[in-house]
């Protein structure tokens, strides 16, 4: 190749990306410009052009020039081995410099193309990128291994079918007065007649969320006084209530926190 052609090719070389500018950019440019595959042989063919560019860039700082000199040394070694009548003998485990540089250049081109694609997306305002890896597994705070979809559907059906019709929004409903004492007496009376019951049986006809909370507090108060004992066989399952041996069905319960 004539010196004029080398000068034209090296002078035409410009790095467009502000992310990185270095010897691999130049080497990739020379190979793609000559329409060569990235192989050991093509690296030997562009060695002279690479060296010509280094000579034309004498004003580069030492730390910038060092990277070009490392690649240049590898190219000279590759070209000299290609010119030999037989390939040089290598020790066991020693890597061929041409194969290593070609592999490094292929990997660099992949990253360069990916960076260009991301730059195009950013210029279009598309700042979201496809996640190729699977989402991380997050350990749940509740053990739902024994719950199936049918269990959830059944629980929703029970709640929805047990709800009463609501008044129209134009109607003003006066809040009802519900006390813990009333709910305690209701639980004790039910247990006196039936012997045992469930928490759901006390709230299935409730009219408000407040009444459910008060019923639950009444149940906790009786548990604290050792008047009842409760059990639940599964997560979100029914709460069974039955009296203890020390329950007094005739006792008038005095509450520490009022009604």
Tens-place pLDDT, residues 75-110:
888 888 877 777 777 777 777 777 888 888 888 888
**In the chain, % of residues over pLDDT 90:** 0
Closest CA to 175 of 208, 203, 152, 151: 208
pLDDT for residue 168 = 65
Does the pLDDT at position 18 exceed 70?
no
Q: Are 37 and 112 members of one domain?
A: yes
- Do 19 and 110 lie in one domain? The reply is yes
Within-domain flag for 131: no
Q: Is residue 47 included in any domain, yes or no?
A: yes
Average pLDDT over residues 193-222: 84
Model pTM score: 0.37
Q: What 3-state class would DSSP assign to 2?
A: coil
Would the CA dihedral through 63, 68, 71, 72 be positive or negative?
A: negative
User: In this structure, is residue 142 part of a structural domain?
Assistant: no
Least confident interval from 11-25, 47-61, 73-87, 116-130: 11-25
- The verdict on residue 167 lying in a domain is no
Whether residue 190 is found in the same domain as residue 102? no
- Residue 37 is predicted with a pLDDT of 81
Q: Is residue 139 assigned to a domain?
A: no
Integer Cα distance of 34 and 5 in angstroms: 12
Rg (CA), the chain: 41
For position 210, which CATH number holds?
1.10.10.580
The pLDDT > 70 percentage for the chain reads 75
Cα dist. 175→101, 211, 215 in Å? 82, 11, 16
Same-domain pairing of 184 and 99: no
Burial (0-12, 13-18, 19+ Cβ within 10 Å), 119: middle
Specify the pLDDT at position 49. Answer: 85
**Residue 39 sits in the same domain as residue 113:** yes
Range of the structural domain that residue 7 is part of: 3-85+95-123
Are 111 and 191 contained in the same domain?
no
Helix extents (H) in the chain: 3-12, 23-33, 40-45, 47-56, 62-83, 97-123, 149-162, 180-194, 199-203, 209-224
Comparing 220 with 136, which gets the higher pLDDT? 220
Confidence of residue 12 (pLDDT cuts 50, 70, 90): very low
pLDDT for 14 beyond 70: no
State residue 59's pLDDT score: 62
Tell which wins on pLDDT, 59 or 117.
117
* 235 part of a folded domain: yes
Confidence of residue 206 (pLDDT cuts 50, 70, 90): confident
3-state secondary structure of 228: strand
């Amino acid at each position: 190749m004539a010196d004029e052609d080398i000068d034209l090719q090296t002078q035409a070389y410009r790095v467009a990306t502000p992310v990185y500018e270095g010897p691999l950019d130049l080497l990739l440019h020379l190979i793609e410009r000559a329409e060569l595959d990235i192989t050991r042989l093509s690296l030997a063919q562009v060695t002279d052009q690479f060296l010509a560019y280094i000579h034309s860039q004498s004003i580069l700082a030492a730390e910038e020039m060092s990277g070009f000199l490392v690649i240049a040394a590898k190219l000279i070694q590759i070209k000299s081995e290609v010119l030999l009548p037989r390939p040089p003998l290598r020790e066991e485990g020693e890597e061929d410099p041409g194969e290593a540089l070609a592999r490094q250049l292929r990997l660099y081109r992949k990253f360069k193309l990916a960076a260009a694609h991301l730059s195009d997306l950013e210029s279009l305002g598309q700042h979201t990128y496809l996640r190729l890896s699977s989402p991380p597994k997050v350990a749940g705070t509740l053990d739902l291994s024994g719950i199936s979809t049918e269990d959830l559907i059944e629980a929703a059906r029970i709640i929805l079918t047990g709800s009463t019709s609501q008044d129209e929004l134009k109607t003003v409903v006066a809040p009802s007065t519900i006390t813990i004492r009333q709910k305690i007496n209701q639980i004790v009376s039910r247990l006196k007649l039936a012997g045992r019951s469930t928490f759901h049986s006390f709230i299935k006809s409730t009219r408000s969320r407040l009444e459910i909370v008060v019923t639950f507090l009444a149940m906790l108060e009786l548990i604290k006084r050792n008047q009842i004992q409760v059990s639940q066989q599964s997560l979100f399952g029914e709460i069974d209530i039955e009296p203890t041996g020390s329950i007094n069905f005739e006792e008038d319960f005095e509450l520490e926190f009022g009604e």
